[in-house]
Every structure is written in C-alpha cells, then in structure tokens.
Amino acid sequence: MTMSSKSPDVLYLNRSDIVTLGGEHSHIYVDAVGDALAAHACGDYVQPLKPYLRRPGADHIADRIIAMPAYLGGEPAIAGVKWIGSRHDNPLQRGLERASGLIILNDPQTNYPIAIMEAGLISGMRTAAVTAVAARHLAKKGFAHLVCIGCGPIARMQLTTMLEQFPSIDRIHVFDRNPDAAEYLIEDVAAHFPKINYRIETDAESAIGMAEVLVTCTVADQPYISFDWLPKGAFISNVSIMDLHKEVFLKADKVVVDDWEQCNREKKIIHQLVTEGSFSRARLYAELGEIVIGAKPGRESDDEIILLNPMGMAIEDIACARHFYHLAQARGVGTQLPLYG
C-alpha cells in the first residue's frame, strides 16, 4: 500500500566520503567534541546509558556491539545513534579493523532518519579529539613527550591528532605487546610527521616513565599500570579504560571523567571502586565539560598527576556526524538513498 508519494532521502556517507570532507584531520572533531562537551556541562542533551550486546559465551572484553543514542541541542539540534561492533580477533584472525559501525542521524522535527554514515573513522577520531581537548586543559603547558601504549588504529588517530594539535610535541614513545604493531604504527605516523623523534620501548613501564601525556590504546582486560610508574605532572587519557590499577584512581591528584553515570557501570575500574566503597562521585574532580566551559579549573600546577577516564559519549559522535552531514549537503558529497524506494 502506498501511503505517500514522496520518498524521503537518506544521505549515505561511506568512509571515503568522510575523508573527502576532511575526516582524517583533527580540527573538525576538536571543534565538534568541544561543542558536545559544553552541551554536556550545560545539560543540553539526552543520552541514555548504552546497552552492551554480547553473544552468549563471549568472554573477551572487546567482543560486543554497543548502541549509543543521543539527542544534542545546538544549531541545529540533532538526534542519532552510533551502532558499533567490536571483535578483539578481527585484526589478527581476519585482517579487519577491530571495530566497525554505522551512525544514523535523525531530524528531531520529524524523527525521520536523514543520514547514515560509516562510524569507525568518526568514532576513532572523536576519541582522539577528546584527548586533545582534555590535554589543552589538563596537560602541562608546552609538553613535549607523548607516550602511547597499544599501537592499533585508535593509537594512530590519537598520535596524529595530538601531533596536529600540539606542535610542542617532539618525542613519542610507544609500546605494544606485539612489536610488529608498534613498528607499523611508527612507520605510518612518521611518514606524515617525519621531524618527531620516535622510540619503540620494550616494556610499558619504560615507555610510561617518559610520559608528560600518556594515552592507553590497548584491549587489556586486566590492569597493569601502577601509580609509581607515572612521572609527576603526567596527564593520562585512559582511552582503553582497563589498563590502570585501582590505586591510580585513588592517588591521582585529579580524576576527571566524561560522564559519571556512563563511567560507573559495566564493572569498569571506577565501578569496581565504587562498589567496594573506596570511590564516589564526591571524590571525582570534574566531568570534562565542566572544565571545558570554565566552571572548574583544569591543571593548577606542573606536578599534578591528572587522570581522564573517557568512556566515550554518543553526543561526541553525533556532534561530529552532524558536522559531516551539513558539510556533505553543502558540497554535494555522498549518495542519496530513497527511504521508500
């Protein structure tokens, strides 16, 4: 039965469309993530807790599909969902990236879907943008040494974003338990940023000892980073969430999260600490958006050890996707798909 003669269009953007629109560079994401974090601090969003879909018997932390819906205010307001799958053995068993997914955008006037786009690139780049926005407020001014543990695609996006955003970086130390991954990463990043001094370390502790800024990008499910490995003044972006021992959360000068409710669940380290009674919302220094809008100070001395626990928020993905949607419309990039055929 035909109910309407008009078929709405849905704009499809594949990864190469997003690259055409500048999606391999950090500035778009840094701006969009900054807006999303400010909206978070001002309450101009709706973001239900994300469900983790795991198949029966899945026992690896990185084997899951996550649905991440959000409404985000601003000009224009937007709604949408990121649907992102992950299998830890995709890279080595199948030669595929670990994570894959789609973002669907909805027009909040009609609630109709208006765009579908590849999510892996946007998701990885917005995660790197969170580190960069946080580092502006939480890292030592003029920091020069960046350390990355885990050397997959997320690490590559973290490094390239940080190098684009912070010209003060002159040395990068990396460690991966798979030395080939470390070599591949450095070859790739050095091709774009040849003037940096790159070092592949043979263990995590030696790498971390050099950190002014440390980013974790592993798929570790057990902590291995002790508090006394961290130099004074370090800023840690705990992207892979499970790498730090509980004591780091208890001894750091400031613990910052993106969203307390999203962090205090799913048996992640903060949730474990809260369940044991040793951490609480009252002990949290801030949510990152509060620092971004200036409601709370960021770093206050060169000695502070500051930990950011960024679980990842749907509003960050939707803010970036909104940007690419409007850019694509303006430039005629992408494929229009008729919703009804």
Q: How far is CA 159 from the centre of its chain?
A: 12
Contact 21, 322 (CB under 8 A): no
Q: At closest approach, how far in Å is the CB of 2 from ligand NAD?
A: 43
Contact 251, 227 (CB under 8 A): yes
Q: At closest approach, how far in Å is the CB of 167 from ligand NAD?
A: 25
DSSP 277-323: TS--GGG--EEHHHHHTTSS----STT--EEEE----HHHHHHHHHH
Helices (H) and strands (E) in the chain, counts: 11, 16
Kindly tell me which of 201 and 212 has the beta carbon lying closer to ligand NAD.
201
Residue pointed to by tokens 């291995």: 224
Kindly tell me which of 21 and 174 has the beta carbon lying closer to ligand NAD.
174
Kindly tell me which of 10 and 315 has the beta carbon lying closer to ligand NAD.
315
Q: At closest approach, how far in Å is the CB of 118 from ligand NAD?
A: 14
83: nearest Cα among 107, 108, 105, 65: 65
Active site residue 82: yes
Contact 148, 141 (CB under 8 A): no
Kindly tell me which of 114 and 319 has the beta carbon lying closer to ligand NAD.
319
Kindly tell me which of 73 and 91 has the beta carbon lying closer to ligand NAD.
91
Residues in the chain: 341
Between CA 242 and CA 19, with CA 240 as vertex, the angle to 5 degrees is: 170
What Cα–Cα distance (Å) separates residue 26 from each residue in 59, 112, 194?
A: 34, 29, 18
Contact 339, 113 (CB under 8 A): yes
- Residue 33: is it exposed, middle or buried by C-beta count within 10 angstroms (0-12/13-18/19+)? buried
Q: At closest approach, how far in Å is the CB of 163 from ligand NAD?
A: 17
Kindly tell me which of 144 and 200 has the beta carbon lying closer to ligand NAD.
200
Nearest position to ligand NAD, beta carbon = 152
Both tokens of 24, joined, read: 């391999």
Q: At closest approach, how far in Å is the CB of 281 from ligand NAD?
A: 20
Of 6, 50, 82, 195, catalytic: 82
Kindly tell me which of 106 and 237 has the beta carbon lying closer to ligand NAD.
237
Residues forming contacts to ligand NAD in the complex (CB under 6 A) are: 62, 91, 98-99, 123, 127, 149-155, 175-178, 181, 204, 217-220, 224, 239-241, 310-312
Q: Name beta bridge partners: 116.
A: 12, 104
Q: At closest approach, how far in Å is the CB of 237 from ligand NAD?
A: 9
Q: At closest approach, how far in Å is the CB of 300 from ligand NAD?
A: 25
Helix (H, G, I), strand (E, B), or coil: what is residue 72? strand
Helix (H, G, I), strand (E, B), or coil: what is residue 5? coil
Active site residues: 82
